[in-house]
Amino acid sequence: MEKLLQPFPWLVILAVASLIVAEWRKYVPRWLRVVPTVVAISLQLWTLPATSRVFSRLVERAERMSVGKAGAILVLGGGMIPATTLSNVVDTDPTNASTPFQANLNNESLERCLAAAEVARSAPHLPLLICGGSPAPDLPAVSQQMEQFLDHCGIPPGNLHVETNSQSTAQNAREAAQWLKEQGMAEVVLVTHAYHLPRASRLLQGEGIRVRPYASRSFQDELPWSIWSFWPSSQAATINQKLFREVLATMKDWVLN
């Protein structure tokens, strides 16, 4: 169902339909003849870095707050790569001669781990809670693989705690809030992507937890204004897809809650 709500495939389908409309123009109602122009403009906008730049500013919360009075660090899982693809190989420390860590974590999970490691090194006294369940019954939870990766990054195993049941951001928030309250904590450093921070923060705050956001990555940082901001880019299309999915997820949360 989620794939049906993604705009890019529909734009491609409409582009093909537009070619048919253009070919059979004289047999098509006048009001439908504007479809090719509308679709062409939409496709152009969807693939522009300028569009991604504006869209990301509207969606993201690109903050990196200090630890302050937080009682723990919370990092949310970003998913795993499909089992049919090769594992990611990550050298967590170029000066370390040990074998690089091999993971089935996707890039978002790895980026969030690296950001969480930064926070953990700056506040070694804080526990680090990792949230994220398993995408399939025969696979380990994403939080367990992230725990191994963070251990490889040098974070003391005694500081690492995992939550393996959640399958969504809303469940992340509920499970994390329950764990934090059991530890007597009401404030947390939340580590996730900038586009994900507003929704994740809102859900945690709804569970009674104060949030200090720490963005693992912001698309705004990767899209400086230049003449190429108006040149179509596959990267821009991918970013817009992620941002659009987050907007849909936010709307879904509003409807359900």
pLDDT tens readout for residues 96-112: 445 455 458 899 999 99
Q: Which residues contact 175 (CB under 8 A, 6 or more apart)?
A: 131, 163, 165, 166
Instruction: Please indicate, yes or no, if residue 66 is contained in any of the structural domains.
Output: no
Give domain status of residue 130, yes or no: yes
Q: Is 89 in the same domain as 136?
A: yes
For residue 170, is it within any domain?
yes
Per-residue pLDDT of 1-10, as tens digits, reads 555 555 656 6
In this structure, the answer to whether residues 164 and 243 fall within a common structural domain is no
Q: Are residues 89 and 178 in the same domain?
A: yes
26 is written with which tokens? Answer: 């004289």
Q: Is residue 67 part of a domain?
A: no
CB 204 within 8 A of CB 166: no
Total residues found in the chain within this entry = 257
The predicted-structure confidence for 18-62, as pLDDT tens digits, reads as follows: 666 555 566 666 666 676 677 777 877 888 899 999 999 999 999
Q: C-alpha 1: how far from its chain's center?
A: 19
Query: What CA–CA distance (Å, rounded) separates 128 from 114?
Result: 13
157 secondary structure, DSSP code = G
Q: What is the mean pLDDT of residues 79-94?
A: 56
pLDDT (average), residues 109-133: 96
Beta-strand runs (E) in 57-127 = 72-76, 88-90, 101-103
Domain count of the fold of the chain = 2
Burial class (CB in 10 A: 0-12, 13-18, 19+), 224: exposed
With respect to residue 209, please indicate whether it lies within any of the assigned structural domains: yes
User: Are residues 243 and 150 located together in one domain of the fold?
Assistant: no
Instruction: Verify that 170 and 243 share a domain, yes or no.
Output: no
In this prediction, residue 97 carries a pLDDT of: 42
81 in the same domain as 42: no
CA angle 190, 105, 222 (to 5 degrees): 65
Residues 115 and 198 in one domain: yes
For 27, the domain range is: 3-60+221-256
Percent share of the chain, pLDDT over 70: 77
pLDDT at 40: 72
Which two structure tokens, joined as six digits, stand for 79? 């998913």
Question: What's the rounded mean pLDDT across residues 143-148?
Answer: 94
Q: Does 226 lie in the same domain as 109?
A: no
Query: Is the pLDDT confidence value at 139 over 90?
Result: no
Which class for 106: exposed (0-12), middle (13-18), buried (19 or more C-beta within 10 A)?
A: middle
Domain with residue 152: its CATH number is 3.40.50.620
Chain CA centroid to CA 180, Å: 23
Whether residue 162 is found in the same domain as residue 80 = yes
Residues 194 and 244 in one domain: no
Whether residue 96 lies inside any domain: the answer is yes
Residue 93 pLDDT > 50: no
Please write the tens of the pLDDT for every residue from 178-229. 999 999 999 999 999 999 999 999 999 999 999 999 999 999 888 888 998 9
In a domain, 190, yes or no: yes
Same domain for 32 and 82? no
Exposed/middle/buried for 242, CB within 10 Å: 0-12, 13-18, 19+?
Answer: middle
What residues have CB less than 8 Å from 18, skipping those under 6 apart? 35, 36, 39, 40
Does one domain contain both 88 and 161?
A: yes
Q: 86 pLDDT band (50/70/90 cuts)?
A: very low
Spell out the residues 6+ positions from residue 238 whose beta carbon is closer than 8 angstroms to its own: none
Q: Identify whether 65 is part of a domain.
A: no
